[in-house]
Structure 1
C-alpha cells in the first residue's frame, strides 16, 4: 500500500498530509524537460474547500463530469478516464465509493485509489492538496468547477507513476489497462493497404496488427467499450505540429439522410474542452441539412462542451489510429471485442528474459528456442485472447520529445507465437521450423501485444520473445478464454541423473537461503558470486562405480509460477587449508547453465579431498530458500556367514564405514 501518515497541521484539524508525495516541486517535476517546467516556483497547493465553497466529487449533471485538460499533456490518461464514466462498476474499482467527503464529520483530507499493475491491484493513498496557480487548478479538472474526481484521480496516478511530469505523453492503451485491469488494442488507420493485404489480415484475424479498423466488430459493444482516436495534426492549426493528441470517442450513430442514404456519425470529445473541427458536421455545417430537421436537432443536442460530430469517411481519413478497450462486465469478465462473447476463464503467469539464458531473440535467431515457454491446454473449442505484457522501462519526461515510432521504442520490441503440438511427442526443433498456429506476427515496440484466435481442443506451445537476443525484462502472460483452459510454464529440463546399479548411498540434506544484499551473489558472471552460501564436504574413499562417487541436487523453495534460474559449482579446497576464497578460482564440477526449474542435479567422480558446494541464482540479489542433497557411496565390510539348518545365523560383524561431512548438521558458511 502506498500511503503516508496523518500529521497535525495546526488549524487544519489534523488533516492527512502525505510525506511520500509532498506539496512541492519534487511531486510535479522529474527532470524539468517538459513545457510545465515554467511553472516551477509558481505552484501553490490547495485543498478543494480552499478552491471553492462547496466541493463535491461528482456533479449532478453527468455531462459536466468529464475531464478537461489543463497545462499537463496527459490527454491519453484523460481519454481512459472517460471509459470509467461509462461503467460505474469500473469507476468504483479505481475510486472506491463511500469515502468521507469535505462535508462529512469523518473527513480527514485523504482519498484512496487503486491501479492495476502487472497482475495485481495496488492501492494508492493521497492527501487532497492539489497544485494550483492563482488559486485555480493548473492541471486537469472537471467541466463543473466544483467537482474534483478528475483532479484527485490524476494526482493519485501521478504519485503512482512518480510525478505529474511523468504523465506528459503516453499511450491510451496503457492507461486503459492501468484503470481497468483489462486489455486494449491499438488499430492503425493511417494505411489501408491493398485488397490483397486486407484479405491476408482478415485471414490471420489479428487485431494487434490489423491495418484497417473493422468498426462492425465492436458495434454491439460501443456503449460499454473504451474507444479513443489520435492524430498527429489538429484541423484548423490548433495543435502543435507532430504532437500526438488523443481524443475520446463518446458514441456513434447510424442514421439516414433525406434521400435514404446511410451515414455513420461519430461524436468525438477533445480533452482540451473546445471544438477543434471545421468539417461539414460542425454547428451550422452543411451536413445537418441532409438530415430530417428534428433528427438533426436531437443529435446535435447530445454534444457537450468540447464535443464535435463527423462522419465515417472524415473519421478514417483524419485520424491516425484508434484504441479499443475490451469491455468488462459487472461480473468482472472480459468481453471479446470481436464477438462480444464473455471470456470468463482467465490465467496469468510471470516470466523473464535473461541474457545468456532465456533471451533468445526473434525467430531470426538460432537461439530462439531458448526463450521461455508456456503450455496452453484447451479442453474444448473456444475463443482465446492472449496478451504479453512487459514490465516497462522507467519512463523519463524527456521521452515526450520523441515522435511517432521513436516514442514507442522506449519499450522493447516484443512478440508472441503459438504452435499446436502433441504434448507427449514434442520435438522442439521440428515444431519451431513450422509456421505458428497463431501469433502477433511481428515484434512491436509496445508495453503489451495481444493475440486473438479461435482454437480447437489440444495443447499449444506459446513462446514470448524480444526482437533482439540478450534483451532482459520481466513479463506477464495473460490468457482469457470463452471455454475451459489451463496455462503452465514449461520446465527447463534438468541434467540427467545416472542411477547406481550397485552399492548403498548415504544422503545428507543442507538447508540454506539466498538473502538479498548478503548471500545472493548470483552466478560467476558477477563479482559478488563469492558471497553465495557454501557447503563443505569431503570425499574419503575411491569410487565404487566407474565415473560416479558424488551426487548433488539443488532444489529451490518457490512456486512453479515464480521459479528462479538456479545452478551450482563445486570447488576443491587445497590440502592443509581450512577454507577457500573462491574469487578467481575455477570449479572442478558445475551444474550449469542455470535453469528455470524446481531442482537441478549433477553426478560426478571426485578425487579424495575436501570440497565446497556453492549454489547460486543467475542474477544477484534474488532471494529464495533452498535445499541441497548430497549423496555419497557407503563402503561396508561384510564378514561372510553361512546359515545352517535348525540354527540361527551368527552375526559375526557388520561394521558400517560411513564417511560423513564434519559439518553435516551445520548451516551455511559465509
Structure 2
C-alpha cells in the first residue's frame, strides 16, 4: 500500500470513461448486480426485496416522522397494491411538473431533478428508461449516480413508504407515474436513509447526476459577466439551481414576496425582453413544492404583448419569472453544473483538459492545516500543474478551474462532518528533492487561493494564471483533520499535473528542526 497521503490515483479524466466506474461500466453499490438480480428473480418468479435498504423504519430514519406516523407506514409496491390502477415508470415523457415535494426537506434534491428534466440524455443515464412494470417485472429497479470520481449503479426494490395508501415523500402529479419516487428512493439508499436527505444544496445532487463541472456564484457579489455565463450555461445544457437565504428560523418560511426562505429553486430559463423600450434580462425559476410563486415586480410595462404573455404566470405550478436584478437581490447562490466545461468559455478555438487526482489528509503526517500553521502547512499533499502558453488567449482571461471535493466514509449522510477546506496555488519550479518544504512557503505568497475555507463538500475557483509552473496545496483549515479528497483541475488546451513525491518522516522532522 502507498504511504498515507500519497495520491492513489492520477489520471486524465478521459482515461476513465470506458473503464470501471465509468458511466458505461459503473461500479456496483454493495456489489449488487442489477442484471444478475433480475435474471434470478425472473427465473424464480419472485419479487425482489432489497436487504441492503430494507422496507422498514431504519430506511426512513429518525426524526422526519412522528412515532404515530411511523406506526402507520406501509411499504407498498405500485404494481400489486392500491397505490395505482395502472403503474408506469414514465407517463407521457419526463417533466419538472411531474412531481412535487413531500414531507421530506430535500428541496435541494428535487430542484436538481427539475433541472435534470431539461437534459433528456443525462436523465436517461441516471434513470435508465428501459425498466418498468411490464414484461419481466420483478419489483427491481436501478439508477446511476456519480459519487466522488466514479459512477455507481444503485439497485432498489419498488416498495415505497405510504400512509393510508398515499406516498409520504415525493408526490407524483399522475398517480400512475413512479420514476420520481423510485429515483428519490435510490438516492436515499446512497445517503443512508430518507432522513439523511434532509438539508443540502442543489450542487451536491447536480454533480451526482452529471459527474460534471460545477461552479458556484455568490449573488451578493456576482461577476460582471453573470448574464453571459448564465446564458451560455443554458445553451450548453448545464443544470442550474439556486437558493434563498435562511430566515430567522430553520423552518421554511414564506416571505411576503412569495419566496420561501432557506429554500432551493431550479433555474428553468433565461431570456432578454423589452420593457419601457429598454432590454430587460429575465430569469425563470421553479419551486419544487409545485406551488408558491414570486409576487414581486417582474415586467410592469412591457411594450411587446407576446413577451408579456410569455412571462405571465397563470397556472399555480411553482414556476415564475423575475428580473436578473431581483434574482441577485433575493437569492444568495447560483449553482451551475455541466457535463463538460464548454459553458465556461464558448470559444471553439480552445478546448479544456481535465485531470483528476485522489488524495488524503492524515492526522500527524499529511494534514498540515492552512497557511496560518507555518510549521506544518508544507506537509500537506502537493500537486504540480503546468499552464502552457497556448492555454491563455488574453490578459486576465480565466483559463483554469480548480475544484476540491472532500470524500467521506460514513454510511449515513447526516453523520458526515465536513471540514473547512480550501487550497492555495504557488508559482515556482519543482524542487530538486521532490517536495516544497517549509522554507519555500515562508518566503512565497500564493498567487491564487480559495476566497475562504468552507465546510462544504466542494469548493472551487475559476482563475486566470499566466504560463508557468504552479503548485496546488489542498488543505483543511485546522491541522490533524483526516479526510480523503478529490482534486479536479480543468485547464484550457493543456494541463500536466503530477503528485510531488512525499519525503519520509525523518526528513520532515529534520526540516522542522532546521527552521
- Fold shared, TM-score > 0.5 on shorter chain: yes
**2:474 corresponds to which of 458, 464, 469:** 464
Q: How far is the alpha carbon of 1:184 from its aligned partner?
A: 2.3
Query: What's the offset of the Cα at 1:372?
Result: 0.7
Larger Rg over CA atoms:
1
CA contact (8 A) 2:293 2:316 kept: no
Shift of 1:89: 2.2
Shift, 1:347, TM fit: 1.8
State whether structure 2 residue 204 is matched by structure 1 residue 184. no
Question: Aligned runs of 1:42-441 on 2, under 5 Å?
Answer: 42-49=72-79, 50=81, 51-60=83-92, 62-63=94-95, 65-99=97-131, 101-103=132-134, 105-189=135-219, 191-192=220-221, 214-223=226-235, 224-231=237-244, 232-233=246-247, 234-236=254-256, 244-257=262-275, 259-281=276-298, 287-300=299-312, 305-325=317-337, 327-328=338-339, 333-337=340-344, 344-366=352-374, 367-382=376-391, 383-392=399-408, 394=410, 410-423=417-430, 428-429=437-438, 431-432=440-441, 433-441=443-451
Q: Name the residue aligned to 2:483.
A: 473
Answer whether contact 2:361 2:483 (CA < 8 A) is retained. Answer: yes
Against the structure 1 CA distance between its residues 308 and 301, is the aligned structure 2 distance closer, same or farther, given a 3 Å change threshold? Answer: closer
Residue 543 (structure 1) aligns with: none
Q: CA offset at residue 22 of structure 1?
A: 1.3
- Offset from partner CA, 1:505-528 (integer Å, 9 cap, x none): xxxxxxxxxxxxxxxxxxxxxxxx
CA spacing shift, 1:443–1:301, aligned 2, 3 Å: closer
Q: Distance in 1 between matches of 2:271 and 2:335?
A: 19
Alignment of 1:24-39 (within 5 A): 24-29=56-61, 32-34=62-64, 39=69
> Alignment partner of 1:187: what SS?
strand
SS of the counterpart of 2:479?
Answer: coil
Aligned to 1:516: none
Classify the secondary structure of the residue corresponding to 1:222: helix
Distance 1:276 1:81 in 2: 19
Give the 3 Å change call, closer, same or farther, for CA 317–453 of structure 1 in structure 2.
Answer: closer
User: By percentage of residues, which structure has more helix?
Assistant: 2
In the alignment, the residues of structure 1 paired with residue 164 and residue 97 of structure 2 have an alpha-carbon distance, to the nearest angstrom, of: 23
Query: Is the contact made by 1:7 and 1:16 (CA closer than 8 Å) also made in structure 2?
Result: no
Q: Kindly indicate whether structure 1 or structure 2 has the higher relative contact order, using CA contacts under 8 Å at least 6 residues apart.
A: 2
Asked if residue 442 in structure 1 is aligned to residue 452 in structure 2, the reply is: yes
CA distance in 2: counterparts of 1:6 and 1:294, whole angstroms: 52
Q: Which has the higher strand share?
A: 1
Deviations 1:226-255 (A, max 9, x none): 222211253238788xx6211111112210
SS of the residue 2:421 aligns to:
strand
Alignment-derived partner of residue 196 in structure 1: none
Distance, in Å, in 2 between the alignment partners of 1:134 and 1:123 is 32
Shift in alpha-carbon separation, 1:156–1:237, aligned structure 2, 3 A: same
Q: 1:397 to 1:62 in 2, by over 3 A?
A: closer
User: 1:421·1:460 contact (CA, 8 Å) conserved in 2?
Assistant: yes
**In the alignment, what sits opposite 2:10?**
none
The change in CA–CA distance for 1:72 and 1:343 in structure 2 (over 3 A counts) is: farther
Cα 1:457–1:7, aligned 2, differ >3 Å: closer, same or farther? closer
d(CA) in 1 for partners of 2:66, 2:411: 17
Distance 1:182 1:397, change over 3 A: closer
Secondary structure of 1:416's aligned partner: strand
Give, in angstroms, the shift of residue 468 of structure 1: 0.5
Tell me if the contact between 2:284 and 2:319 (Cα under 8 Å) persists in the aligned partners. Answer: yes
TM-score, scaled relative to structure 2? 0.80
Partners of 2:422 and 2:453 within 8 A in 1: yes
Measure, in 2, the Cα distance between the counterparts of 1:301 and 1:93: 32
Unmatched runs of 5 consecutive residues or more in structure 1:
193-209, 282-286, 400-408, 495-566, 568-590, 595-670
| Corresponding residue for residue 19 of structure 1 | 51
Residues in 2 aligned to 1:322 and 1:38: alpha-carbon distance in whole angstroms: 39
Q: Report if the CA contact (8 A) 1:142-1:151 is conserved.
A: yes
Cα pair distance change 1:60/1:489, threshold 3 Å: same
The offset of 1:81, in angstroms, is 1.2
CA contact under 8 A between 1:267 and 1:309: conserved in structure 2? yes
How far residue 363 of structure 1 moved from its aligned partner, in angstroms, is 0.7
CA 1:134–1:364: 2 relative to 1, 3 Å = same
User: Structure 1-normalised TM-score?
Assistant: 0.62
